[in-house]
């Protein structure tokens, strides 16, 4: 036989409703979301916008210069020449990679900043005419 659960009085609450009332998932999702800047419209200064690519360019440049020094040491110093010949190009390529990544990152950020400044209305009109 089937047993039906007894009807809940006004004072009694089901375990599901207690869970829903005490759950704070909506507020924790908004706090922990990575797109928090969408919800806050506080203006940011240039350093807050560009500090990551500037750091990547600086570190890449430093590693590249270190690679130049190590590679030039392989031609100057006769002892441990093989170590310098292996490590020098590795630092050169790693430094060049970070340098280029940082330099490409800056125009990408600029483009995203320009897109954020445009109104949603203008973007919807543009997408209507150009996406046909």
Long-range CB pairs of 63-72 (<8 Å, 24+ gap) are 63/91, 63/94, 63/95, 63/98, 64/91, 64/92, 64/95, 64/96, 64/98, 64/99, 65/95, 66/91, 66/95, 67/91, 67/92, 67/93, 67/94, 67/95, 68/92
- Using one digit for the tens of pLDDT, what is the confidence trace for 22-61? 545 554 444 444 444 444 556 688 888 899 999 999 999 9
> How far, in whole angstroms, is CA 31 from its chain's centroid?
17
Up-side HSE of residue 18: CA atoms within 13 Å toward CB? 5
What residues does each domain of the chain span?
50-126
The radius of gyration computed from the CA coordinates of the chain, to the nearest angstrom, equals: 29
The structure's pTM equals 0.58
- Using one digit for the tens of pLDDT, what is the confidence trace for 60-93? 999 999 999 999 988 888 887 888 888 999 999 9
User: Tokens 């999702």 map to which residue?
Assistant: 29
């Amino acid at each position: 036989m089937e047993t039906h659960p007894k009807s809940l009085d006004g004072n009694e609450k089901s375990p599901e409703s207690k869970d829903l009332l005490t759950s704070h998932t909506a507020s924790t999702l908004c706090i922990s979301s990575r797109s928090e800047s969408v919800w806050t419209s506080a203006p940011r200064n240039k350093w807050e916008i560009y500090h990551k690519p500037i750091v990547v360019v600086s570190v890449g440049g430093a590693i590249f210069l270190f690679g130049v020094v190590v590679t030039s040491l392989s031609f100057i110093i006769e002892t441990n020449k093989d170590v310098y010949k292996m490590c020098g190009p590795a630092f050169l390529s790693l430094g060049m990679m970070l340098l280029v990544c940082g330099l490409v990152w800056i125009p990408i950020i600029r483009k995203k900043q320009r897109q954020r400044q445009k109104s949603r209305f203008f973007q919807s009109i543009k997408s209507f005419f150009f996406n046909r």
